[in-house]
Amino acid sequence: MSGDAKSGTQSTLAGPEPVVVRCDERIIKGYLESPEWSSLPEAASAGNGHVHDTFRIRHLDSNAVEEVPAGDVKAIFFVGDLDGEPDYKSFRFHAQEPIISGVWVQVQFRDGEIMEGIVENSIRHLTGPGFFLRPTDPDDNNKLVYVMKNSLVEHHVLGLTQL
């Protein structure tokens, strides 16, 4: 999902944030039914230490709720637009953007996808089963990504930022 630019169907109603859940074999578009992660601020404040065995996802197309085992999830992308733009190329150097406090990292998933972003500078980033990553590209459709560590093949620290 990295690099999807904003296009058609944006969430305009207050409430749960639209998410795209990437699994090894499929993609699910919809909304998280987990109360502590239903909005972007709640998800970000939940921190990296909260462990889920399953993620409850309300499908966009059918409104049905499905429980997806955490072990099947590559990442959960909190997006601005559920349609995205698959051909968008992420911009990785941002000289004019504000500095966000945290650790700047690059991750590579088992499927070859590479993302960069800022993660919380805490022990929870190292000890939890996953972590929240804020993409560095200001035009990226992804607002926040919960990355499952078991879906990664590489993880590099590119720098440390402070306010």
Residue-by-residue DSSP string for the chain: -TTPPP-S-B--SSSSPEEEEEESS-EEEEEE--GGGSSHHHHHHH-S----SEEEEEETTT--EEEEEGGGEEEEEEESBSS--TTPPPP---TTSPP-SEEEEEEEETTS-EEEEEE--SHHHHHSSEEEEEES-TT-SEEEEEEEGGGEEEEEEEEEE--
The pLDDT > 90 percentage for the chain reads: 33
Selection from 25-39, 46-60, 94-108 with the highest mean pLDDT:
25-39
pLDDT of 74 > 90? The answer is: yes
Residue 144 has pLDDT above 70, yes or no: yes
Least confident residue range of 30-44, 62-76, 128-142: 30-44
- In this prediction, residues 130-139 reach a mean pLDDT of 85
Mean model confidence pLDDT for the chain: 78
